[in-house]
Chain A
Amino acid sequence: MFGTLLNLQLKQARRSPAYQKSLVVNIILGFFIIYFALLFLSLGFFGHKILSEIYPDQSPLVSFNSFLLIYFLIDLVSRFMLQDLPVLAIQPYLHLPVKRNKLVHFVLLRSIPSVFNLLMLLVFVPFMFRAVVPEHGTGIALVWLTSLLLLTFINNFILIYFKRQLTSNPKLTLLLALAVGGLMLLDYLHVLSLRQFSVAAFGALLQQPWLVVVPLLGLIGVYLLNYRFLMQHLYPEEIYVKKVSAVEGNDMAFLNRFGDTGKLIALELKLIWRHKRPKSMVMISAFLLFYGLIFYTNKVYLEGWGMLIFVGIFVTGSPMFNYGQFVPAWQSAHYDALLTRPITTYQYVKAKYLMFIPSILLVTVLTLPYALFGSKVLLINLASCLFNMGVNSIVVLYFAALNKDRLDLSNGSAFNWQGVGASKFVMMLPMILGPVALFLPFSFMDIPQWGIFAIALAGALGLIFHRQLLQLMAKRLEERKYTLAAGFRQH
């Protein structure tokens, strides 16, 4: 029975439209996977060196252990945001003569082989060989690794249990994140030492390996908790976390001033707010604001120009890139409605444009504090802002006409590759490389400031001629509308 179920699941995955992507996307995806895998592996291999450099007065294993508790807490919070429940997969079998307990065991065990549970092994295993085995021997090292795995699985099942109980309430997730953040702050202020506690706990494990039964019992406990809950609630309407709550319609009256274009913007804002995928995309964009910190804190990047231009374009344009890459596929479910109503394509395109511009301005204002890293950063970011508004907004709309895959909005956007095509990667190239190409000749002439000015000028020109450019984009979209509409009708 388990074999049959597993086989069907594999078929489902293999035959899903998301899996049958083009070769290019698969290659790029494969590249990303290998890149991150190597990143984590090297973190594991060189972790003990890094740790003994940062904390020279204690063994790297102790340092590593001290962060484990915090790691597992963060892991739990991020699971609440990212991980989804596989429970609905058993719905088609509920009316068939299959034992209920088998179905429940299946759905629970199926949740174990997932990226969330196995990714950190890439760090843990090499670190074990490099730092734990030499200090404590293979046997104890394996016990140490086992207990880490067990804790990961405990997190997995805690998530499944609570996410179903609380439904996916974003406020509770935020509360949990704040609680963990608070604990970390207390640790940082030496009020309450999470790290000491962590060292004590995992140190004890290394001294007395039989303590591995503690996480084991914990795992059995949460597993049984889930099992009992699911056995008692094996009805689609009870395990399905969808909750229809009363909603209030609203009008967004302030947008009425912009006429029909304003109405389209209001419509789109509601679209973002009322679907999971665009909403989580907004969240991701918020996180990307901090992307600059990776580069600005590094002297090597801060002295050059090229990387800073890349960061500037990326940071000030991140909401536009994130959202714009799927225009007009966001509206794939009701594209026919837009085409048969008295809305001109120009109005439609202009509504998108008028969403991009404020988003870029807002992000630019929010990232103004980066000026603390120097006036050069500020200059580059302001030029990038202009370039994004004038040029890249049009480029996004240009590539929009290639988005003919229907987009499923009900799933979150993290790790969601549904509707991602090769054009998404192609469109990033001119947007990032364009400004760098503009900059290079001036850089060779040793007047980099003029290069930044050229980027800003290109953006300003784009803004001045935005009406003509938008008309061109509208024409392009108009020509492609039958292809798009036909693509969106394919489920």
Chain B
Amino acid sequence: MIEVKDLVKAYSDTTVVNIPSLHIAAGETIGLVGNNGAGKTTLFRMLLDLVRPTKGAVTSKGIAVAHSDAWKHYTGSHLDESFLIDYLTPEEYFKFIGDLHGLSTGDIQERLQPFTDLFNGEILQQRKYIRDFSKGNQKKVGIAAAALSHPELLILDEPFANLDPSSQIRLKNLLRSLHEQYGMTMLISSHDLNHVTEVCKRIVILEKGQIVQDMQTTENTLQALEAYFTV
């Protein structure tokens, strides 16, 4: 699905991302963990062609993301608030995104159905603009919009941050069921080692822009991660 080759991003003399090779197969769920400044978000931005790599390239289904818009049709993403159009109501926003993917109003409603628990009655029919929602609820809107088109590839940056405990658990279940039902390839970064190991079958640790570990999730992964991050 995604192929990263010799990817380097450097600002003047500091290298923030340096990944010789990373292969993501279709249907994989990958958790990206690492401390602040490890380069997770920059890597995501390069995957989404929002930052120009200093060297190397990212290809999606064999086509370089920088040279084509094709990936936009099968990739859903939510990194931060700048992915939201915050002066719309959530309904308008979902409609806008749905329209871009050729979904009818009925489709949108149906696809938002699984989000009912996560939304907890606080998102739809609130007669508020997205900018007036709390950070946590904005995040829910962003995640739902990213998943709305049932993309083949879903990229989420810190989806569990700012969510209350119940919402975190609901989101975890939701992501797992989206993966099972539609075989979505997922790329999720998180500081919550517990959740990310439960959702993802493969964990990649990033440190100072480099991949230091790449492992399949087993029952020992959580302990291994905790050991790794204990300094």
* A residues adjacent to B (C-beta < 8 A): 244, 246-251, 260, 263, 267, 270-271, 274-275, 333-337, 339-344, 482, 485-486, 488-489
Contact = CB atoms under 8 A, between A and B. Distances in A.
Contacts of A337: 82-85
B97 A341 contact: yes
A271 B130 CA distance: 13
Contacts of B198: none
Contacts of A246: 127-128
Nearest to B47: A340
B152 interface: no
A263 B99 contact: yes
A249 B91 contact: yes
Interface in B48-85: 48-52, 69, 72-73, 75, 77, 79-85
A335 B79 CA distance: 12
A85 B14 CA distance: 43
A267 B85 contact: yes
Contact of A340 (B48, B52, B85, B127): B48
A270 B99 contact: no
Contacts of A486: 51
Contact of A251 (B48, B75, B95, B132): B95
Given A267-B96, A342-B100, A336 B82 contact: yes
Contact of B127 (A247, A270, A341): A247
A341 B50 contact: no
Given A263-B96, A341-B72, A482-B51, 17 more contacts: A249-B88, A249-B91, A249-B92, A263-B99, A267-B88, A270-B88, A274-B87, A333-B86, A334-B83, A336-B50, A336-B79, A337-B82, A337-B83, A340-B77, A342-B72, A482-B50, A486-B51
Contacts of B128: 244, 246-247
Contacts of B72: 340-343
Contacts of B91: 249
Contacts of A340: 48-50, 72, 75, 77, 83
B73 A342 contact: yes
B89 interface: yes
Interface string B171-187: 00000000000000000
A335 B82 contact: yes
Contact of A336 (B83, B89, B101, B129): B83
B45 to A, nearest CB: 8
Interface of B: 48-52, 69, 72-73, 75, 77, 79-89, 91-92, 95-97, 99-101, 127-129, 132
Interface of B, helix, strand, loop or mixed by DSSP = loop
Contacts of A488: 82
Given A247-B89, A271-B87, A343 B82 contact: no
B219 to A, nearest CB: 36
Contacts of A267: 85, 88, 96
Given A251-B95, A335-B82, A485 B50 contact: yes
A344 B73 CA distance: 11
5 contacts: A249-B88, A335-B82, A336-B82, A340-B83, A482-B50
Contacts of A342: 69, 72-73, 100-101
A344 B91 CA distance: 23
A244 B132 contact: yes
B186 to A, nearest CB: 16
B100 A339 contact: no
Contacts of A333: 81-82, 86
Contacts of B83: 334, 336-337, 340
Contacts of B81: 333
A339 B84 contact: no
B37 to A, nearest CB: 16
Nearest to B129: A247
A170 B69 CA distance: 43
Contacts of B80: 336
A424 to B, nearest CB: 24
A339 B49 contact: yes
A260 B102 CA distance: 10
Contacts of B89: 247, 249
